[in-house]
């Protein structure tokens, strides 16, 4: 049976037509799915009972199930979700405030069950790869988040989406692109591409496709300023030579005032020296970019440690002096293992 949340708008139109229904039904059903967050076909009350019966015979609506909720002392929320086959993934809601002091949320989305990249500093990588998530599973996280916070679509709390959760987005390119297309639909979830960021370790296949789509901003998990170190801490990502990746990113399609965001996780004693900063400045000099510095969040059994605060400041100061745009990204949710690199889809019970 078809999960209606797995259909793009065009596919839903074709499905509705195949049932012998008028074309305007597509828009009605679509809004029930993505704006009114209907969990069953029976809830679609502006559609005749006969049509609802016909729909229910061929399709259903399946959301992921929330099996555990955790809230950090800083207000970050982590949801453990169970998918239709019992697989577990996590999504995180990160609070911030507007200039006017109003609460805003950014959601960190997962796109795979586990991850095949095996980065040595990441808890998700230690899980290994199980499977790709479908569009209904990826976007089901957004539906659940809006339900959790009782979001008002006229003035939503949930403003930004970052694909920085479990999995490598470009290794699930088909379902990622379908999800981004649906996110951008004004009759549905209605997220502007400027409020969506897709983070990749650096996968050659699919990078140009993502850029040409214009459906999201790009963030690249760099974490090392040279090929040798990248191969040591990110062995699978490093199969694409750093020099080749930077050459491609130099011509990556960008909108006006847009830059490629680079993520750099500072690991104590590993990639945080002034020599590393010097190499990093040189690496970024020919790419229109900005740099997010993330201080490592130790996880259970981790082989790395966080750098000292003075080391972080010296690293940042060196880059700023060389006109690199640097943002120190404040980690949130560390006490509930919801910070960068800590997602492992495990239950406390």
- DSSP for residue 333: -
Catalytic one of 111, 115, 122, 340: 340
Q: Which of 158, 280, 287, 156 is nearest to 219 (CA)?
A: 287
Q: 323 — alpha (psi -120 to 50), left (phi > 0) or beta?
A: left
CB 60 within 8 A of CB 3: yes
Catalytic one of 21, 90, 168, 263: 90
Q: Quickly tell me which residue has 């950014």 as its tokens.
A: 106
Angstrom distance (rounded) from CA 248 to CA 221: 15
Dihedral (Cα; 332, 338, 339, 340), 10-degree rounding: -150
Angstrom distance (rounded) from CA 158 to CA 220: 23
- Would you call 65 a catalytic residue per the annotation? no
Report the residue count for the chain: 349
CB 318 within 8 A of CB 277: yes
Name 44's Cβ contacts closer than 8 Å, sequence gap at least 6.
Answer: 28, 29, 32, 38, 52, 55
Angstrom distance (rounded) from CA 90 to CA 134: 15
Beta strands in 188-320 (DSSP E): 196-200, 217-221, 260-266, 289-295
Per-residue tokens: 38:
């209907």
Pairing assessment for the beta strands 289-295 and 260-266 based on DSSP bridges = parallel
Per-residue tokens: 126:
């230690």
Per-residue tokens: 313:
């400041």
- Would you call 100 a catalytic residue per the annotation? no
Active site residues: 90, 340
């Amino acid at each position: 049976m078809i999960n209606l949340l797995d259909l793009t708008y065009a596919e839903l139109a074709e499905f509705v037509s195949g049932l012998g229904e008028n074309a305007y039904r597509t828009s009605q059903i679509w809004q029930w799915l993505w704006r009114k967050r209907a969990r069953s076909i029976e809830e679609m009350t502006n559609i005749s009972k006969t049509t609802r019966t016909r729909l229910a015979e061929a399709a259903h609506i399946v959301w992921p199930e929330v099996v555990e909720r955790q809230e950090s002392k800083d207000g970050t929320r982590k949801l453990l979700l169970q998918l239709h086959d019992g697989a577990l993934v996590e999504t995180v809601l990160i609070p911030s405030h507007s200039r006017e002091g109003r609460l805003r949320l950014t959601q960190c989305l997962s796109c795979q069950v586990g991850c095949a990249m095996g980065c040595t500093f990441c808890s998700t990588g230690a899980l290994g790869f199980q499977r790709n998530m479908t569009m209904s599973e990826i976007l089901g996280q957004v539906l659940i988040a809006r339900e959790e916070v009782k979001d008002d679509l006229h003035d939503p709390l949930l403003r930004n989406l970052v694909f920085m959760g479990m999995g490598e987005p470009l290794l699930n390119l088909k379902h990622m692109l379908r999800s981004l297309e649906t996110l951008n639909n004004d009759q549905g979830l209605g997220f502007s591409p400027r409020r969506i960021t897709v983070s990749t370790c650096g996968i050659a296949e699919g990078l140009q496709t993502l850029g040409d789509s214009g459906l999201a901003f790009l963030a690249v998990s760099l974490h090392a300023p040279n090929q040798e170190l990248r191969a040591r801490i990110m062995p699978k990502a490093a199969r694409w030579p750093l020099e080749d990746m930077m050459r491609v990113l130099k011509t990556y399609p960008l909108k006006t005032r847009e830059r490629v965001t680079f993520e750099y996780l500072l690991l104590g004693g590993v990639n945080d020296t002034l020599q590393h900063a010097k190499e990093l400045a040189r690496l970024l000099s020919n790419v229109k970019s900005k740099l997010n510095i993330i201080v490592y969040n130790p996880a259970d059994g981790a082989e790395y440690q966080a750098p000292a605060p003075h080391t972080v400041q010296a690293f940042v100061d060196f880059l700023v002096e060389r006109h690199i745009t640097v943002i120190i990204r404040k980690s949130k949710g560390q006490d509930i293992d919801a910070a960068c690199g800590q997602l492992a889809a495990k239950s406390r019970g």
